[in-house]
Chains A and B, each alone.
Chain A
């Protein structure tokens, strides 16, 4: 097991299986099927992301450097949370970008209920993304500690 310390963006405590993207997550392209075509598993639709394309994102500990793409990104994450189709958490190796930050804060402030929760931790460092692999077990603690098993 390895442990990484990050910054809490949206607090929470959970355990989930890791899903890793080494490139930026294009939020709009990735969640298109989940939002527009009722895909409850949130299968990633971004053909330009070989790590995630075709994989189910809902309920996973999504490990990534940052999000990229359209400035609709924040509201797409907000909608995914509202519909219960969000990842279990977002774990960023880098400081969070403005679009993901918007989605995280909007969901935390405006949505209620456990099914809409999406804890977010950022600044976990490059080593985190080098170490974590798909399907590893990830424990997220309320103080921003992330354990990878």
Chain B
């Protein structure tokens, strides 16, 4: 029996073992986890779908598969269907013989097995593998105020901030467990108090700040706190598809370069529109971002390539996965860049990544063929999973994703710099 958290009779019954030992342990895990953060109760999960961070059949995650098997054996499937992060391997993405050997024989040998497990546990569609599950084409888009048991830092921060849903930065396994019992511990970003901003960030740049760079700067400054951002509405206008794409990339950088789970943008995000500066806590600290500050942050990134002047061998765009609007815009930008340089194909092998459902819709438009003509490869892969091994880590890979930069050896460039590299040169 929990001594600190008030449980309902139903929750207490699960904890007491009335629905089996495995479910009792699931509830015990969630209660103990919540009590560490002062949770006073368990909140019902109210979203239609869940989202899981673990999508990769890594041989090394045997203990996770064993735990999943226990849940399946006890009939403890998820109460919700769910999407999951991107698949780790795609034969369309350039890789060496040795990389393929490592992927297939050492790293992702459990992929088919794990996907079968996910199917039994409630995967919403056989291709529901993307970190940007909230995009319209994928269909896992929670409504404002709904309570989630999601993981995947970039998806959690988007759901909280842009959609106004309520979700903590859950770890893998905890995400599934919340969905299995239908409750999550009530603390942090699930509460009104926890959603208050303890930082005011004033944007004073001379042009629209690079989303991935601004997110990185704010993430590194506020870490896990909630920022209230002032002055960005001047550059974003309204919450249209372009602004949503911007906030997708911005948020992923705040979450990976720091540990932000929620941000408010004055005049743009739903809670900020509704509540304005009532969202700002007393004694909030102030952080001013101007051109010099963004340059300082950019210059602070370490280049971990052995040969810092190496010619890039691969370019990844789409961590998190690109939106339909982004694919369209980038097709035009790449075409224009190639036209200016007199080239027909990109100068560096370049991979754009997106959700399978987004790729399908994009390829049904004329833009699909146009992008193909530029030589850019379109894939559903997770660039992080591609990069997270010593062989890929030694490759000089470039990206405009600050998340990919943070977790791997990929080198960060702004969108404009990436465009120059892939259309005009290779160094």
Seen from chain A, the residues whose Cβ lies within 8 Å of a Cβ on chain B are: 9, 26, 28-29, 32-33, 35-37, 47-48, 66, 68-75, 78-79, 82-83, 96-99, 101-103, 105-106, 108-111
Q: Name the B residues within 8 Å of A29 (CB-CB).
A: 388, 407
By the criterion CB–CB under 8 Å, are A96 and B171 in contact?
no
Interfacial chain B residues near A74, Cβ < 8 Å? 171-174
User: Closest chain A residue to B67 by CB distance?
Assistant: A110
Q: Which of B106-135 contact A (CB under 8 A)?
A: 106-107
B409–A47 CB distance below 8 A = yes
Question: Which of A26, A75, A101, A109 has a CB less than 8 Å from the CB of B61?
Answer: A75
Cross-chain contact A105 with B58 (CB below 8 angstroms): no
Residue from the list B59, B174, B302, B389 in contact with A48, Cβ < 8 A: B302
Chain B, residues 390-421, CB within 8 Å of chain A (1/0): the string is 10000000000000001101000000000000
A9 to B153, CA, bound (A): 23
The 4 closest A-B pairs by CB, nearest first: A74-B171, A102-B171, A82-B63, A35-B60
Contacts A9-B36, A74-B172: A83 and B63 contacting too (C-beta < 8 A)?
Answer: yes
Which of A79, A83, A98, A105 interacts with B32 by CB under 8 Å? A105
Closest residue of A by beta carbon distance from B188: A98
Nearest CB to that of B151 among chain A residues? A71
Q: How many angstroms from the CA of A69 to the CA of B169 in the assembled complex?
A: 11
B262 CB, nearest partner CB in chain A, Å:
13
Distance A131 CA – B119 CA, assembled complex (angstroms): 50
Residues of A within 8 A of B304 (CB): 47-48
Of all chain A residues, which has the CB nearest B187? A98
How many angstroms from the CA of A56 to the CA of B224 in the assembled complex? 28
Q: Does B105 contact A (CB under 8 A)?
A: no
Measured between beta carbons, the chain B residues less than 8 angstroms from A66 are 259
List, in ascending order, chain A residues with CB within 8 A of B406's CB.
Answer: 48, 69
User: Is B151 touching A36 in the complex (CB atoms < 8 A)?
Assistant: no
Q: Does B295 contact A (CB under 8 A)?
A: no
B107 contacts A36, C-beta separation under 8 Å: yes
Chain B positions within 8 Å of A105 at CB level: 29, 32-33, 36
| Cβ contacts under 8 Å, B32 to chain A | 105, 108-109
B279: min CB distance to chain A, Å: 21
Of the residues A9, A26, A35, A109, contact of B25 by C-beta under 8 Å: A109
Decide yes or no: A99 and B37 within 8 Å by CB, A69-B407, A71-B152, A110-B25 being known contacts: no
Q: Evaluate contact between A102 and B407: CB separation under 8 angstroms.
A: no
Q: Is B169 within 8 A of A99, CB to CB?
A: yes
Contact of A99 with B25 in the complex, beta carbons under 8 Å: no
- C-alpha gap A97/B390 in the complex (Å): 28
Q: Verify B170–A102 contact, CB threshold 8 A.
A: yes
Asked if residues B63 and A102 are in contact (CB atoms below 8 Å), the reply is no
A72:B53 contact, CB within 8 angstroms:
yes
Contact partner of B173 (CB less than 8 A), chosen from A48, A69, A75, A96, is: A75
- Across the interface, do A36 and B58 meet the contact criterion of CB distance under 8 Å? yes
Q: Are B407 and A73 in contact (CB under 8 A)?
A: no
By the criterion CB–CB under 8 Å, are B259 and A68 in contact? yes
| From B54, B106, B152, B171, residue with most partner A Cβ within 10 Å | B171
Could you tell me the distance in whole angstroms from the C-beta of B36 to the nearest C-beta in chain A?
5
Kindly state the separation between the CA atoms of A103 and B29 in the bound complex, as whole angstroms: 10
Contacting residues, chain B, for A33 (C-beta < 8 A): 390
Tell me if B256 is interfacial: C-beta within 8 Å of chain A. yes
Given known A-B contacts A48-B406, A75-B61, A98-B37, A109 and B29 have beta carbons under 8 A apart? yes
Most B CB atoms within 10 A — which of A48, A71, A111?
Answer: A71
Q: Which residue of A lies closest to B31 (CB)?
A: A105
* B288 close to A (CB within 8 Å): no
Cα distance, A48 to B405, chains bound together (Å): 10
Taking A70-B407, A71-B153, A111-B63 as known contacts, 9 extra A-B pairs with beta carbons closer than 8 A to each other, sorted by chain A number, are A36-B60, A71-B172, A71-B175, A73-B171, A82-B62, A96-B36, A97-B224, A101-B171, A103-B171
Alpha-carbon gap, A69 to B152, bound state (A): 10
Residues on A with C-beta less than 8 A from B388 are 28-29, 32, 36
B156 at interface by CB-CB < 8 Å: yes
> Which residue on chain A has the smallest CB distance to residue B258?
A68
B155-204: which have CB < 8 Å to A?
Answer: 156, 168-175, 188
Least Cβ distance of A117 to chain B in Å?
15
Q: Judge whether B28 is part of the interface by a CB distance below 8 angstroms.
A: yes
The chain B residue sitting closest to A109, CB to CB, is B29
Q: Which of A68, A70, A102 contacts B174 (CB 8 A)?
A: A102
B29 touches A75 (CB 8 A): no
In the bound complex, CA of A101 to CA of B172 (Å): 12
CA distance A140 to B151 in the complex (A): 32
**B152: chain A residues within 8 A (beta carbon):** 71
- B308 → chain A closest CB, angstroms: 14
Q: Cα distance A97–B304 when bound, in Å?
A: 27
Query: Given the complex of chains A and B, what is the CA–CA distance between A55 and B171 in angstroms?
Result: 25
- Kindly provide the distance from the CB of A24 to the nearest chain B CB, expressed in whole angstroms: 8
Please tell me if the beta carbons of A101 and B36 are within 8 angstroms of each other in the complex: yes
Question: Could you tell me if A35 and B29 are in contact, using CB atoms closer than 8 angstroms?
Answer: no
B64 interface contact, C-beta 8 A: yes
Q: Whole-angstrom distance between the alpha carbons of A105 and B36 in the complex?
A: 10
